[in-house]
A and B are shown apart, each in its own frame.
Chain A
Amino acid sequence: MEKILGIESVYAGYNNEVILKDVSLEVFDDDFIGIIGPNGGGKTTLLNVILGLIKPFKGSVEFFDDSKASRNNRIGYLPQINKIDKKFPITVNEVVLSGLIYGSAIFTRYTKSDREKAVETLERIGICDIKNTSIEELSGGQMQKVLLARALVSSPRLLILDEPNTFVDNQFEGELYEILKELNKEMAIIIVSHDVGTISSYIKTIACVNRSLHYHKSNKISEEQLASYNCPIKLITHGEVPHTVLKKHHH
Chain B
Amino acid sequence: MISELLEYKFIVNSLLAGILASISCGIIGTYIVTRRMVFLSGGITHSSFGGIGIGYFLGFNPIISAAIFGVFSALGIEFISKRSDIREDSVIGILWSFGMAIGIMFIFLTPGYAPNLMSYLFGSILTVSTFDILLMLGLSIVLILVFTFFYRIILFISYDQEFARTHKIAVSLINYILIGLVALTIVLNIKVVGIILVISLLTIPQSIANLFTKNFRNIIIVSIVIGLIGAFMGLVISYKINIPSGASIIFSLVMIFLIAKLFQIIKGKINLKKQKI
* CB contact under 8 A between A77 and B152, given known A89-B34, A89-B215: no
Pair A95/B159 contact, Cβ less than 8 Å = yes
Pick the residue among A53, A72, A79, A134 that contacts B215 (CB under 8 A): A134
Pair B162/A102 contact, Cβ less than 8 Å = no
29 sample A-B contacts, Cβ–Cβ < 8 Å, listed by A number: A53-B165, A72-B168, A75-B166, A79-B162, A85-B34, A85-B36, A88-B34, A89-B34, A89-B213, A89-B214, A89-B215, A89-B219, A90-B155, A94-B152, A98-B156, A98-B160, A98-B163, A101-B153, A101-B164, A101-B167, A101-B169, A102-B168, A103-B168, A106-B153, A106-B169, A106-B170, A107-B150, A109-B152, A134-B215
Pair B152/A84 contact, Cβ less than 8 Å = no
Q: Hey, what's the 0/1 contact readout for A10-29 against B, CB within 8 Å counting as 1?
A: 00001100000000000000
Quick check: is A167 within 8 A (CB to CB) of the other chain?
Answer: no
Interface residues of B in 185-227 (CB under 8 A from A): 210, 213-216, 219
Interface residues of A in 55-112 (CB under 8 A from B): 72, 75, 77, 79, 83-85, 88-91, 94-95, 97-98, 101-103, 106-107, 109-110
A103 to B173, CA, bound (A): 12
Quick check: is B113 within 8 A (CB to CB) of the other chain?
Answer: no
Which 3 A-B pairs rank lowest in CB-CB distance, beginning with the nearest? A134-B214, A98-B156, A103-B168
CB nearest to B149 among chain A residues:
A107
Quick check: is B158 within 8 A (CB to CB) of the other chain?
Answer: yes
Residues of B within 8 A of A233 (CB): none
A77 to B165, CA, bound (A): 11
CB nearest to A160 among chain B residues:
B166
CB nearest to A47 among chain B residues:
B166
Pair A101/B219 contact, Cβ less than 8 Å = no
Pair B159/A88 contact, Cβ less than 8 Å = yes
Pair A94/B155 contact, Cβ less than 8 Å = yes
CB proximity of A91 to chain B, nearest CB, Å: 7
A85 to B159, CA, bound (A): 7
CB nearest to A83 among chain B residues:
B162
Binding site secondary structure of chain B: helix
Residues of A within 8 A of B174 (CB): 106
Pair A79/B163 contact, Cβ less than 8 Å = yes
Pick the residue among A83, A85, A102 that contacts B167 (CB under 8 A): A102
A79 to B163, CA, bound (A): 8
Quick check: is A51 within 8 A (CB to CB) of the other chain?
Answer: yes
A14 to B85, CA, bound (A): 12
Most A CB atoms within 10 A — which of B153, B155, B159, B167?
B167
Quick check: is A123 within 8 A (CB to CB) of the other chain?
Answer: no
Extra pairs beyond A79-B163, A101-B152, A110-B152 (5, CB < 8 Å)? A94-B155, A95-B159, A98-B156, A98-B159, A137-B214
Quick check: is A136 within 8 A (CB to CB) of the other chain?
Answer: yes
CB nearest to B219 among chain A residues:
A89
Range, interface on chain A: 20 to 34
Residues of A within 8 A of B150 (CB): 106-107
Pair A15/B159 contact, Cβ less than 8 Å = no
Interfacial residues, chain B to chain A (CB-CB below 8 A): 34, 36, 84-85, 149-150, 152-153, 155-156, 158-160, 162-170, 174, 210, 213-216, 219
Pick the residue among B162, B167, B170, B210 that contacts A89 (CB under 8 A): B210
CB proximity of B45 to chain A, nearest CB, Å: 23
A53 to B214, CA, bound (A): 31
Residues of A within 8 A of B155 (CB): 90, 94, 98
Quick check: is A242 within 8 A (CB to CB) of the other chain?
Answer: no
A97 to B153, CA, bound (A): 11
Residues of A within 8 A of B162 (CB): 53, 79, 83
A97 to B155, CA, bound (A): 11
Pair A84/B160 contact, Cβ less than 8 Å = yes
A150 to B162, CA, bound (A): 14
Residues of A within 8 A of B210 (CB): 89
CB nearest to B165 among chain A residues:
A53
Quick check: is A52 within 8 A (CB to CB) of the other chain?
Answer: yes
CB proximity of A114 to chain B, nearest CB, Å: 10
Most B CB atoms within 10 A — which of A51, A53, A106?
A106
Residues of A within 8 A of B213 (CB): 89
Pick the residue among B158, B163, B166, B214 that contacts A52 (CB under 8 A): B166
Pair A98/B215 contact, Cβ less than 8 Å = no
Most A CB atoms within 10 A — which of B159, B165, B166, B210?
B166
Residues of B within 8 A of A102 (CB): 167-169
A67 to B150, CA, bound (A): 28
CB nearest to B216 among chain A residues:
A89
CB nearest to B162 among chain A residues:
A79
Pair B166/A77 contact, Cβ less than 8 Å = yes
CB proximity of A35 to chain B, nearest CB, Å: 17
A101 to B164, CA, bound (A): 8
* CB contact under 8 A between A51 and B158, given known A89-B215, A106-B153: no
Pair A51/B166 contact, Cβ less than 8 Å = yes
